[in-house]
Structure 1
């Protein structure tokens, strides 16, 4: 090969390298999180389906690989997040998170709202909450936050009275008046729907209600009927470890979640049991 040909080949190769390097720089600038992998813990099939949509969008638009990890209870996802098995989780409201942190000495924190989920009382035996007989057996979730939330809903429905000093986390022992002598039994939240045929009524979280094929329209009472219960404390969140609250990768995922498309999926998959809760969300006009 003569000197002229060598020079020409070198010029083409170097030019290709410059082009390739420049192209990679543009891609890196356009998709700074490309190739990042994130594990998100969720509870319930409907939540997993919602996050699978977010994962598809994240991969297509940002090159982020999201793996959803499905849990069947409310106790494990925070432990998995705290020990590093997960990067994020999405299943709980603020009251639950704060109570879990206090009981476990951890510092998990919220980086964004997802939805407000109903906690509804279902019954296979009665068509109305007014039809509950004396001595009716009622199942509530046994975790302090959702159990307390169910008791507050029963109070607002006029069925019991609770000691005001119990605050937002009352227990069965805090009931001061129970004129119908309701037999209220806390069970693991994952067992509430399973227990429904054997009792007069059960408070069932949206995710477990959906998984059991229950329609929110068939509930005999929902705590969304009690607007005094609802503020930011009962909004569901995306949680991270305390040291990751400002991590741009995770904040980008929050941004990808809080979209009109995800809002539609939340409402549809929950049969109206979940309402998007992030700032700026506006329901579509009917």
Structure 2
């Protein structure tokens, strides 16, 4: 072969299949990462909190504040106080926020449960309202006044009536007082018990009624129109501090603790709570240890009372 003969070049490899393969691999990796991202977002835990009165504007503010901290919150509304605790017990909810310590103690003892406080919110006065009278002195002897029928708020309502001079309690009054403790002969008015949501709607048929704070604004009442109230700033009022409650095994849950902090420390939330309460709420950051100690004492007293 002549040295001048053209050399036959080896065929060059076509780079296109390698490029395509690389693109496919990158696309698969990107797709996998995206799918994992989406799945992680879908599986992100949503904390379900039961309340009575989800229409209160501070709950929307609270949900947004929690979202800003990376926590998804779903507010679940209930119309009756008897519902949110069983929902937490049955794991339909993670937390609830609607009750004070006395109410929780009665639930735990009556149902052999161990729900526990994970944070304080506020304490609210319990007030007496009337559509007929401007003062308790104007209420006529023998008329009927209503109190809530749940044990904790019934006792507290009866203490308000006694302080107002409308009734006398045989035992002098305690967190366990009920209608049987009313000394009818020594009392100015008759007392009947209604579910908490009905005391306010029955005002037109009564001389007056104890109305739980949750229902005052919703009924179109003004807090300043109350004709009698208790003193929520009294140190003895600790059992009536409202709380976030959880199952006992979740009391150290870091997310739940953070949610308590968000409620307590977000000014937009606390400002709205005050607005809804007509400025009557006393916002608190009571240490959880104090809440637990109060609950334990009230539970012990409740068990002794029920024997």
TM, length-normalised to structure 2: 0.76
Structure 1 Cα separation of the partners of residues 209 and 285 of structure 2? 29
Indicate yes or no: 2:99 matched with 1:104: no
- 1:37-186 equivalent positions in 2, closer than 5 A: 37-45=46-54, 47=56, 49-62=57-70, 64-164=71-171, 167-176=174-183, 179-186=186-193
In the TM superposition, residue 195 of structure 1 has moved relative to its aligned partner by 0.4
Partner secondary structure for residue 149 of structure 1: helix
Cα distance change, pair 124–45 in 1 and its aligned pair in 2 (3 A):
farther
In the TM superposition, residue 164 of structure 1 has moved relative to its aligned partner by 3.1
Asked if the contact 1:109–1:245 (Cα under 8 Å) also holds between the matched residues in 2, the reply is yes
Structure 1 Cα separation of the partners of residues 179 and 58 of structure 2? 34
Cα distance change, pair 267–203 in 1 and its aligned pair in 2 (3 A):
same
Over alpha carbons, which structure has the higher Rg?
2
1:186-234, Cα deviation, whole Å (9 max, x unpaired): 000011111011100010001111211111011111112x755842201
- 1:7-18 equivalent positions in 2, closer than 5 A: none
Cα distance change, pair 125–165 in 1 and its aligned pair in 2 (3 A):
closer
Q: Which has the higher strand share?
A: 1
Structure 2 Cα separation of the partners of residues 149 and 213 of structure 1? 23
Q: 1:253 aligns with which of 253, 259, 265?
A: 259
Partner secondary structure for residue 183 of structure 2: strand
Asked if the contact 2:119–2:286 (Cα under 8 Å) also holds between the matched residues in 1, the reply is no
Aligned length: 261
1:97-138, Cα deviation, whole Å (9 max, x unpaired): 001110111111000001111211000000001111101210
In the TM superposition, residue 144 of structure 1 has moved relative to its aligned partner by 0.4
TM, length-normalised to structure 1: 0.82
Match of 1:232 in 2: 238
Structure 1 Cα separation of the partners of residues 54 and 46 of structure 2? 22
Match of 1:283 in 2: none
Partner secondary structure for residue 92 of structure 1: strand
In the TM superposition, residue 44 of structure 1 has moved relative to its aligned partner by 1.7
In the TM superposition, residue 51 of structure 1 has moved relative to its aligned partner by 2.2
Asked if the contact 1:118–1:273 (Cα under 8 Å) also holds between the matched residues in 2, the reply is yes
